[in-house]
């Protein structure tokens, strides 16, 4: 799998989680889905921010990657609000709806714009190696949203590992899913 395949797969998982939320039959089930979604999307966004977008920035025209990165900010803001909800929270449904449309735009941007251009312009072997790095990075990526943290290297490269350790500690203490 190259980097595009790995990230596209993440997108499908997340879309399925939105459907699972709709299908859930209790507050506890819905909350369970939200917690998995927070985790999966936080990891996905973090791994796009490093190493995927910096790689893309080397290959593509100036400013293009910055626009994608800007699309992550509202998503992380919504994830943070969802992270703070409790089971049965009234705000949760509306936050999930807003998140679903923000994510749909993000998926279109990534899949219809960035990825085809990368396929055409980046070295195939480099894209495969990047895919491997992203896949392995999932073990160490932050699992919660950090909307106020830097989202570009070099600051991000320093902040992310510390955030990830802290997130995983909170995951353990709060009994969150740990996939």
Q: How far is the CB of 82 from Fe ion (least distance, A)?
A: 18
Q: Which stretch binds Fe ion (CB under 5 A): 25-33, 110-118, 125-133, 161-169?
A: 110-118
The residue behind tokens 């025209």 is 61
Q: Which of residues 24 and 153 has its CB atom nearest to Fe ion in the complex? A: 153
Of 48 and 83, the one with the shorter C-beta distance to Fe ion is 48
Q: How far is the CB of 69 from Fe ion (least distance, A)?
A: 8
Minimum Å distance from CB 128 to Fe ion?
Answer: 18
Choose between 50 and 85: whose C-beta lies nearer to Fe ion. Answer: 50
Contact between residue 87 and residue 97 where contact means Cβ atoms under 8 Å apart: no
Q: What is the DSSP letter of 94?
A: H
Closest Cα to residue 103, out of 27, 151, 40, 52?
40
| Integer Cα distance of 116 and 118 in angstroms | 5
Find the helix packing angle between 64-84 and 27-47, rounded to 10°. Answer: 150
Among 49, 110, 151, 167, binds Fe ion (CB under 5 A): 110
Cis peptide preceding 94, ω within 30 of 0: no
Indicate the residue among 32 and 74 with the shorter CB distance to Fe ion: 74
Are 69 and 56 in contact, with CB atoms under 8 Å apart? no
Which of 2, 48, 49, 81: binder of Fe ion (CB under 5 A)? 48
Enumerate residues 49-108 that contact Fe ion by CB under 5 A. Answer: none
Q: How many residues bind Fe ion, per CB under 5 A?
A: 2
Q: Residue 121: which of 73, 61, 172, 77 has the closest Cα?
A: 61
Both tokens of 27, joined, read: 């507050």
CB 90 to Fe ion: min, Å: 29
For Fe ion, the closer of residues 40 and 48 by Cβ is: 48
Residues that bind Fe ion (CB under 5 A): 48, 110
């Amino acid at each position: 799998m190259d980097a595009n395949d790995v990230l596209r797969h993440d997108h499908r998982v997340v879309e399925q989680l939105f459907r699972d939320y709709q299908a859930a039959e209790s507050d506890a089930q819905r909350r369970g889905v939200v917690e998995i979604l927070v985790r999966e999307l936080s990891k996905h966004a973090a791994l796009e921010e490093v190493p995927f977008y910096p790689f893309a920035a080397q290959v593509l025209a100036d400013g293009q990657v910055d626009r994608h990165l800007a699309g992550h900010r509202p998503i992380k803001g919504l994830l943070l609000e969802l992270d703070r909800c409790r089971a049965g929270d009234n705000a949760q449904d509306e936050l999930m709806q807003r998140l679903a449309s923000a994510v749909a735009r993000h998926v279109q941007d990534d899949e219809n714009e960035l990825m085809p251009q990368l396929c055409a312009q980046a070295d195939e072997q480099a894209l495969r190696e990047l895919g491997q790095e992203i896949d392995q990075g999932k073990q160490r990526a932050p699992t919660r949203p950090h909307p106020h943290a830097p989202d570009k290297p070099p600051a991000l490269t320093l902040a992310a590992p510390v955030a990830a350790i802290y997130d995983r500690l909170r995951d353990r203490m709060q009994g969150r899913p740990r996939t």
